[in-house]
Structure 1
Amino acid sequence: MSDQPIAQPWSHRGHAVHAVVAAPAQPRGPAVLLVHGFGASTDHWRHNIPALAVSHEVHALDLLGFGRSAKPAELAYGGALWRDQLAAYVAERIGRPTVLVGNSLGGFAALAAGVALGPQAAGVVLLNAAGPFSDEQAPPRGWGAITRQTIGAALLRSPVLQRLLFENLRRPATIRRTLNQVYIDRTNVDDALVEAIRRPSLDPGAFGVFRTVFDIPRGQPLDELFAELACPLLLLWGIRDPWINAAGRRQAFQRHAPASSTTEVVLEAGHCPHDEVPELVNTALLNWLDDLGGSGGDAAGVARAVSAGEPPPAAGLAPVAASDRTAA
């Protein structure tokens, strides 16, 4: 194989899935599966696949409904579909223990798949992962909150409003403006990235997938998934993410993530640290993968800091200072 990605089409439930693979002649450690966020695709790992594939077997795929994968109208889009898609890919295409790496929506799918795969999941890496905790699923209280939610939900379910939103969101200028909001360093917000997001929105089924966004089931809460996770976990934070209140969300993850097997890396970046600061993410991920291989992937191992030469603390979640672009 090559350390440059090669397309290797696959199918799930009879629907075409775009997947790419890259690997050295003799890969070490577990395989790695990269999972994009909402509206993105395998293209969003453009700065990560070549670096990771120097030493590891790397796979990336487009979730059904996104990128170059099929967008059939009859599918129930949501966490269960994407969890099953990832688990099936690991079982059918990779066939050995795999580390699942996901950003945003892809993080939720990767975590759910990591739980479903059991011993076939060598580890899970979450980059600003989406998904609710149990206490965030409580219904609104008070007439004001209930009214606002009801009216807002009704408006968002209007086909006319949905079409207007869709047409606006897929305009190149809107895509670029949105990316500029969530990238702190905008160097990599380039024409290639904008086009990688715009192009799939032109597919015939794209609007149908977009409409399901307003009805996608929330899925199993993150705290329940963490309680069932049996493999090591790496939390990679773009701590200046304006979309998810990363600092507050990080505290929630610290309360629920399994402390004995969790590593945490905090970076001065926004919602997509793998594309904004890829060198730092690649270094942190490769260091963690090396340590994973050295410990045999023992989920009961003590959490370590991933950093450039810093010794790890004795235990617990570990915020680190990997460089001058990393925040503790």
Structure 2
Amino acid sequence: MASLLSPSFLSSLFPSNPRRPSQCRRHGYSSRLVVSMERSDTNASSNRSSTAVIWFKHDLRVDDHPGLIAASRSNAVVPLYVFDRRILSRFTDEMLELLLLAVNDLKKLLNDYGSDLLIRVGRVERVIQDIVKEVDATDVYAEAEVEYELCQMMDMVQDAIKSVSLLYGNPQVNIWNAPLHDNMNLKDLPSSYRDFKKLNFPIMSPQLPPTLSSVKMNLNWGSMPSMDDLRSFLGNNPPKSQVDWTSIKEISAETILSDSQFLSSNMNVNGRIANPKSGEIVQKSSYKPSKGKNFKSLFAGQGKDLIGGGTEIVLDALAAYLRYLEGTVRDDWQELHEKLRNAEIRQGASFRSLFGSAFSLGIISRRRAYYEAIKYEKERNAGFLSPFGYSTPTVAAVIETVCSMEWYWLMAIKGQSITKEPCHIRIWRWKGYLIQFTVVGHEGPAVLLVHGFGAFLEHYRDNINNIAENGMRVWALTLLGFGKSEKPNVIYTEIMWAELLRDFIVEVVREPVHLVGNSLGGYLISIVAGLWPVLAMSVVLINSAGNVVPGYSSVRFTRERKTSGVTRLGAQFISLYLRWTIKSIVTNCYPTVASRADDWLINEMIRSSNDPGVEVVLESIFSFNISIPLNYLLKGFNNRVLVIQGMKDPIADSKSVIAMLREHCEGITIKELDAGHCPHDECPETVNAIIKEWVFSIGGKTLTC
């Protein structure tokens, strides 16, 4: 099994005996001994003649690479990158271009260090198994993962390696990571970010690249594929149904609404124009280099809006970003400063927007970015750090973004190790952000549960398993910005959340679902059903947000969302107010069974309210647009819409809601309950029975894609 190279901060996740395998693989790969190799007080295989295979995935660098440092202690090192369809299919064409640039740069760097990068194409577990046999590897090193599908791949790699029997026994698998904080035990990790910051754990410094063995093995090292090669590999005669299914993501909600004449022609966020096809913000640069000058841009990809290349380019771009206020004569830095201004849709948002892809591919580590920001801050302040904040908004953006990313990574790692939660948590990465979800059941129709504003997937704590027990597969996820899912510095809109749900169905569920949503979740699933009807078998609205508008053809939708100092102050006030009054607010939503507004529910809401980025989410309250009426969105779902309405809802006039739905929505079924705003949690047995009967009445047959 994996050798013990781990720091104390992650020891709580794993068995006290490092050579005893984990007894449970439900959250991902077994024996997940996450290791950080800065301290080497071990008796690892470096003490004997050894060969190490280091599997690069989303860690495409030699700088600050603990796995490479540990592997360098072996007599021979075989760096490996595998172009695996399961990994590549997760990337857009733009990300594939950035991937190729980063892998190519990594290969050149390793050549400079006297090594090379072995390039292979295929299923990674088979490739690694073959390489281990070919080079008689004693160790395999790989970075820790939190995403469920990647954890499954790690399991497969471990199983494949276990089947390899060499003269000295089985190769050891070493899982590493590069944590930002030192001397931290996850068992003692506070659930509140506010409490976590009070502990003031020391920050770990990034590590320099190691000296690699000069022994270069006689191998067929392979050659780098081109972009056309990857497209051909990924598009090698896929089934037509799969092409049609995945192509659903290619057209944005705005495009569909525009075609339906619902969308205002002025699609913008804080004055920035949206791409008419994708709906993404177009960062049009007005910068033009000096006449007669040619310069090498720091950007790459189809839109030339993302930092692209290897670590050296990314660090140069980071230096330019941090020094934004200083000005520059360099054309490439001026171009970056222009894109920074375009990407700053709200304060600090530009950093993740420009550098997010570099973090996703591991071209730069979080602690390297933190270190560079702090170093620059000290340069500006004669070697000191002010207790009153950072001297430039760019330094603040880097520090706050990196610390936020680290927190949600820690939460994801810890969440997968906890067995006492109502649901077994998995992680899905959407546009680089960590999203929590769960699934229960192995057969039957697919059901997706979507929570309301301020809630999380565990709000369906007494629905998920019960519904699944009756021959259904039940998914639930925590939307971006809520619960323990990530809360990045972005503009939150109902369209963004609807597109997240669309992508979750396409990428994770992979078949049409029965959509169930409470409150805001009800409105979001209505958007999904209305804009991408092929994804929905039926729609179940539980005290849904949204309006019914007679003569809806005159309603116009605009994507324009603005933030300001006023909205930020408003969000801060709401945040403080909710922390003091959340108990009474939630209890009022449970008028029939007030005991269901229990300490667990309240404490989890309070915990979430202290997460980094929560005030950005609350700003969305001031810009919600629910002008697309429910009767428009659901007009094609005759006899496939169920409304479960708590008639004692303190937030809405349930009698008026029901009357409007009956009058203007054809073919809907309505169930009136003696409950408040959250009937699914206030009277779960009743709601579960209604949903199960409904799904089976609609029919459980689905077309798996």
Give your verdict on TM over 0.5: yes
User: Which structure ranks higher in relative contact order (CA pairs < 8 Å, sequence separation ≥ 6)?
Assistant: 1
Distance 1:169 1:57 in 2: 35
Residues 436 and 485, structure 2, Cα contact 8 Å, conserved in 1: yes
Q: Does 1:96 align with 2:511?
A: yes
Aligned residue number for residue 454 of structure 2: 39
Q: Does the CA contact (< 8 Å) of 2:446 and 2:473 recur in 1? A: yes
* Corresponding residue SS for 2:532: helix
Q: Cα–Cα, structure 1 residues 253 and 230, in superposed 2: closer, same or farther, change >3 Å?
A: closer
Of 13, 20, 33, the residue aligned with 2:438 is 20
The residue aligned with 2:429 is 11
Give the distance between the partners of 1:192 and 1:251, measured in 2 at CA. Answer: 35
Name the amino acid aligned to 2:508: R
C-alpha contact (below 8 Å) 1:79/1:219 kept by paired residues = no
Distance 1:37 1:257, change over 3 A: same
**1:37 Cα deviation after fit:** 0.4
Distance 1:38 1:127, change over 3 A: same
Using the TM superposition, give the Cα deviation of residue 224 of structure 1 relative to its aligned residue in structure 2, in angstroms: 1.2
CA distances 1:110-141 after superposition (whole Å, capped 9, x unpaired): 111122332231111000000133369999xx
Deviations, residues 299-325 of structure 1 (Å, cap 9, x unaligned): xxxxxxxxxxxxxxxxxxxxxxxxxxx
Q: CA–CA distance in 2 between the matches of 1:289 and 1:227? A: 19
Q: After superposition, give the CA deviation of every residue in 1:166-192 in whole Å (9 maximum; x if it has no partner).
A: 112023xx1110012111121211101
Deviation digits for residues 231-254 of structure 1 (CA, Å, limit 9, x no counterpart): 711111101112111111111111
CA distances 1:133-178 after superposition (whole Å, capped 9, x unpaired): 3369999xxxxxxxxxxxxxxxx9454443222112023xx11100
Cα pair 1:118 1:230 within 8 Å, conserved: no
Q: Is residue 165 of structure 1 aligned with residue 165 of structure 2? A: no
Listed as ranges, the matches of 1:281-300 within 5 Å are 281-293=687-699
Q: How much identity, in percent, do the aligned residues show?
A: 33
Aligned to 1:213: 621
- Contact 1:100-1:123 within 8 A present in 2 as well: yes
Instruction: State the Cα RMSD in Å.
Output: 2.6
Letter in structure 1 aligned against 2:486: A
What amino acid does structure 2 have at the position aligned with 1:87?
A: R
CA distance in 2, matches of 1:158, 1:93: 35
What whole-Å deviation, never above 9, does each CA across 1:74-94 have from its counterpart, x for those lacking one? 2x3122111111111111101
Partner of 1:73: 489
Letter in 2 for 1:217: N
- Verify: 1:273 aligned to 2:679, yes or no: yes
Shift of 1:104: 0.3
Quote how far apart the aligned CAs of 1:205 are.
0.2
Q: Which residue number in structure 1 is paired with residue 585 of structure 2?
A: 178
* Uncovered stretches (5+) of structure 1, i.e. residues with no partner: 140-155, 298-328
1:285, distance to aligned residue in structure 2 (A): 0.6
Contact 1:98/1:123 (<8 A) preserved: yes
Q: What amino acid is aligned across from residue 212 of structure 1 in structure 2? A: S
TM-score (normalizing by structure 2):
0.37
Distance in 1 of aligned mates of 2:501 and 2:674: 29
- Return closer, same or farther for 1:203/1:122 CA change in 2, 3 Å cut-off: same
How far apart, in 2, do the equivalents of 1:72 and 1:225 lie?
29
1:237 counterpart SS class: strand
- Kept in 2, the 8 Å contact 1:115–1:230? The answer is no
Which runs of structure 2 are paired with 1:1-328 in the superposition (5 Å)?
5-23=423-441, 25=442, 27-28=443-444, 30-54=445-469, 55-74=471-490, 76-134=491-549, 157=566, 159-171=568-580, 174-184=581-591, 185-229=593-637, 232-259=640-667, 262-293=668-699
Partner Cα distance (1:205, 1:253) in 2: 36
User: How far 1:225 sits from its partner (Å)?
Assistant: 0.6
Are the counterparts in 2 of residues 241 and 271 from structure 1 also a CA contact under 8 Å? Answer: yes
1:131 is aligned with what amino acid? G
| Change beyond 3 A, Cα 1:199–1:219 | farther
AA in 1 matched with 2:671: V
User: Tell me, which stretches of 5 or more residues in structure 2 are unaligned?
Assistant: 1-25, 28-421, 556-564
* Residues 231 and 248 (structure 1), Cα distance of their counterparts in 2 relative to 1, 3 Å cut: closer
CA change 1:31–1:244 in 2 (3 A) is same
Q: Is the 8 A contact 2:531 2:633 kept in 1?
A: no
Q: 1:265 corresponds to which letter in structure 2?
A: K
Counterpart secondary structure, 2:600: helix
